[in-house]
């Protein structure tokens, strides 16, 4: 017999966004049902942010040993135990796992059902096994995204890696080829190279092509100096099975410069080119929910075409970051519980690419600002002019601040050491619509990297000494002693 459950909120997908909605709603006494067909914590905990940053950290330690000689410390080439790297990654996942576990959420009062969910009609969800039907006042879809399938001939015949499988490797790849030069591909390419893997990245267009070229040039230069081979404008003709001695091997046949075929052999092939929303199996049509290949269509309130249903995070096809899903969760809670008109504001959402050096951004970039404002100013300050950066030999990079003619800060971009931490302050500045004056008015401790931003802000007033009116004013005051 089918179990009938009546809930206030039914959440489909236990990724970061879904878990945040479930926990917050349960804390306010709502009856919450949470459906998850796979692992609690979703992509971020198990296949994305957490394991990738753990691998990047391992690569960083290896590079620190290589760079120690710059500081008068001799160490030599590091010895990498790849099994231990694997264990490190999974121990980090295990340390965080209890926060996202079934037991914790049941303890919070959430009813967790470890099944996939699909819509029966506009106000009912049924579990995949057909044993449970949930009716609810509101539904929240938080099913995330997965690595996109590429239309490359022969690719489906190869056991290639994705972000869902690469962290399970216990033996180091000898020759890793990554298809895709976006943030995921570049982060893992550099981390693997620093661990000692021979790495080639194939990108059909430009590496990190969605970011500011002035900043990406700094990142690309370092990744190339680390030894990663970057092939931009690569045209893949087909993929064939490679050496049978390696589970993830492949031959990638490229179009060469002379029109001839160029064969690239890999012991391990990884695909990191784009993400696809997880909408299959939800039967969204039965709930009158509009979607396409880019994701579920939502208003800026995150409501779908079914007024009972919200969609958050990657499945909406917008900015695909864990913190965006968390931001969405907060908006949905305000809408459902407090009947507030909470709308998404993408201008205040920061993002970081965790390469070395890191690259971070919030607000408008230079081109966006030019399209919206008549007069803008670009304020820059290089890491090389910062004393802390000099002391730590981390002088590659700069901050780039965009303001309007009145000094209102429209956006900020940073490339350099700790850019991901430094962007926090600028995210607050953008969200609070602050002016350059506010930045010049605070005191930054010396020596810190954050001084770079303050120095850039002060440069807004750099031409004041040259203005005749200012000089005349100063001369006037001299008469008073």
Q: Which residues are annotated as a binding site for FAD?
A: 53, 117, 143-145, 314
Place of tokens 């100063």: 474
pLDDT of 378 > 80? The answer is yes
For residues 323 and 151, the answer to whether their CB atoms sit within 8 Å is no
Place of tokens 């190279």: 193
Mean pLDDT, range 210-225, rounded to an integer: 97
CATH topology of domain 155-273: FAD/NAD(P)-binding domain (3.50.50)
Cβ count within 10 A of residue 99: 13
- What gap in Å lies between CA 270 and CA 161, rounded to an integer? 4
For 411, the token pair is 């956006």
> Which range, of 73-82, 328-337, 445-454, 470-479, averages the lowest pLDDT?
470-479
For 51, the token pair is 């394991």
Whole-number Cα distances in Å, 259 to 132, 235, 240: 58, 11, 19
For 310, the token pair is 């919200």
∠ CA 52-54-55, rounded to 5°: 65
pLDDT of 371 > 80? The answer is yes
DSSP 8-state code for residue 457: H
Cβ neighbours of residue 245 closer than 8 Å, sequence gap 6 or more? none
Question: Which alpha helices (H) appear in 97-170, and where do they start and end?
Answer: 102-107
pLDDT for res 481? 67
User: 293: exposed, middle or buried (C-beta count within 10 Å: 0-12, 13-18, 19+)?
Assistant: exposed
For residues 312 and 42, the answer to whether their CB atoms sit within 8 Å is no
Peptide bond into 357 cis (omega under 30): yes
The CATH superfamily label for domain 357-466 reads FAD/NAD-linked reductase, C-terminal dimerisation domain (3.30.390.30)
- What gap in Å lies between CA 444 and CA 450, rounded to an integer? 7
Would you give the distance in Å from CA 360 to the centre of its chain? 10
- Phi, psi for 250 (deg, rounded to 5): -165, 160
Banded model confidence at residue 205, pLDDT cuts 50, 70, 90? very high
Banded model confidence at residue 114, pLDDT cuts 50, 70, 90? very high
pLDDT > 70: what percent of the chain?
Answer: 100
Question: Which alpha helices (H) appear in 339-392, and where do they start and end?
Answer: 366-372, 387-391
pLDDT for res 125? 98
pLDDT > 90: what percent of the chain?
Answer: 94
pLDDT of 466 > 90? The answer is no
Banded model confidence at residue 480, pLDDT cuts 50, 70, 90? confident
pLDDT for res 272? 97
> Which range, of 124-133, 139-148, 273-282, 462-471, averages the lowest pLDDT?
462-471
pLDDT of 423 > 90? The answer is yes
With the CA atoms of 445, 448, 450 and 455 taken in that order, what torsion angle do they form, in degrees rounded to the nearest 10? 80
Closest CA to 47 of 114, 9, 107, 93: 93
- What gap in Å lies between CA 314 and CA 48, rounded to an integer? 13
Cβ count within 10 A of residue 256: 12
Banded model confidence at residue 111, pLDDT cuts 50, 70, 90? very high
For 243, the token pair is 């050496």
Whole-number Cα distances in Å, 100 to 6, 42, 86, 360: 24, 9, 21, 27
Would you give the distance in Å from CA 447 to the centre of its chain? 29
At 351-366, the pLDDT tens digits run 999 999 999 999 999 9
Asked if domains 3-40+101-147+276-346 and 357-466 share a fold, the reply is no
Pairing label, strands 3-12, 351-353:
unpaired
Task: Provide the terminal-to-terminal Cα distance of the chain, rounded to the nearest Å.
Answer: 95
Q: Which residues are annotated as a binding site for NAD(+)?
A: 180-187, 203, 274
Cβ count within 10 A of residue 43: 28
Strand arrangement of the beta sheet that strand 250-255 belongs to: 236-241, 250-255, 261-266
The CATH superfamily label for domain 3-40+101-147+276-346 reads FAD/NAD(P)-binding domain (3.50.50.60)
Cβ count within 10 A of residue 320: 22
Q: Is 425 helix (H, G, I), strand (E, B) or coil?
A: helix
**Hey, where are the domains in the chain?**
3-40+101-147+276-346, 155-273, 357-466
At 22-77, the pLDDT tens digits run 999 999 999 999 999 999 999 999 999 999 999 999 999 999 999 999 999 998 89
Q: Which residues are annotated as a binding site?
A: 53, 117, 143-145, 180-187, 203, 274, 314
Banded model confidence at residue 473, pLDDT cuts 50, 70, 90? confident
Mean pLDDT, range 432-460, rounded to an integer: 96
- What gap in Å lies between CA 36 and CA 32, rounded to an integer? 13
Place of tokens 């002060």: 458
At 306-325, the pLDDT tens digits run 999 999 999 999 999 999 99
pLDDT for res 1? 80
pLDDT for res 346? 96
Mean pLDDT, range 398-410, rounded to an integer: 97
């Amino acid at each position: 017999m089918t179990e009938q459950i009546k809930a206030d909120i039914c959440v489909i997908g236990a990724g970061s966004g879904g878990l945040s909605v479930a926990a917050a709603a349960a804390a306010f006494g709502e009856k919450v049902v949470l459906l998850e067909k796979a692992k609690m914590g979703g992509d971020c905990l198990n296949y994305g942010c957490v394991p990738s940053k753990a691998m990047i950290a391992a690569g960083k330690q290896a590079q620190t040993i290589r760079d120690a000689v710059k500081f008068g410390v001799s160490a030599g080439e590091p010895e990498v135990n790849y099994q231990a790297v694997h264990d490190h990654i999974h121990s980090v996942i295990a340390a965080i796992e209890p926060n996202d576990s079934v037991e914790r959420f049941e303890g919070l009062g959430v009813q967790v059902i470890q099944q996939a969910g699909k819509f029966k009609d506009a106000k009912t969800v049924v579990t995949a096994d057909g044993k449970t039907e949930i009716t609810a006042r509101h539904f929240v879809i938080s099913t995330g995204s997965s690595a996109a399938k590429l239309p490359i001939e022969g690719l489906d015949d190869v056991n290639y890696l994705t972000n869902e499988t690469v962290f399970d490797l216990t033996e180091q790849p000898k020759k890793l080829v990554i298809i895709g030069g976006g943030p995921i591909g570049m982060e893992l390419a550099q981390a693997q190279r620093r661990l000692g893997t021979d790495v080639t990245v194939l990108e059909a267009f430009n590496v990190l092509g969605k970011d500011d070229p002035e900043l990406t040039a700094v990142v690309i230069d370092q990744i190339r100096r680390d030894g990663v081979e970057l092939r931009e404008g690569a045209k893949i003709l087909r993929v064939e099975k490679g050496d049978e001695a390696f589970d993830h091997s492949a031959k990638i046949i490229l179009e060469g410069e002379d029109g001839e075929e160029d064969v690239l052999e890999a012991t391990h092939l990884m695909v990191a080119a784009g993400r696809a929303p997880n909408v299959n199996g939800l039967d969204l049509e039965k709930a009158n929910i509009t979607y396409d290949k880019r994701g579920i269509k939502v208003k800026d309130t995150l409501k779908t075409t079914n007024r009972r249903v919200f969609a958050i995070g990657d499945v909406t096809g917008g900015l695909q970051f864990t913190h965006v899903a968390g931001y969405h969760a907060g908006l949905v809670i305000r809408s459902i519980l407090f009947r507030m008109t909470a709308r998404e504001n993408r201008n205040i959402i920061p993002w970081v690419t965790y390469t070395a050096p890191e690259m971070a951004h919030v607000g408008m970039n230079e081109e966006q600002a030019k399209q919206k404002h008549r007069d803008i100013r670009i304020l820059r300050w290089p890491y090389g002019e910062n004393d802390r950066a000099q002391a730590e030999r981390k002088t590659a990079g700069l901050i780039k601040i965009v303001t309007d003619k009145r000094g209102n800060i429209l956006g900020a971009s940073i490339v350099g050491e700790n850019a991901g931490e430094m962007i926090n302050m600028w995210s607050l500045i953008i969200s609070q619509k602050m002016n350059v004056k506010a930045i010049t008015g605070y005191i930054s401790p010396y020596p810190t990297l954050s001084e770079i931003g303050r120095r850039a802000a002060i440069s807004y007033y750099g031409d004041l000494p040259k203005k005749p009116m200012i000089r005349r004013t100063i001369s006037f005051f001299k008469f008073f002693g």
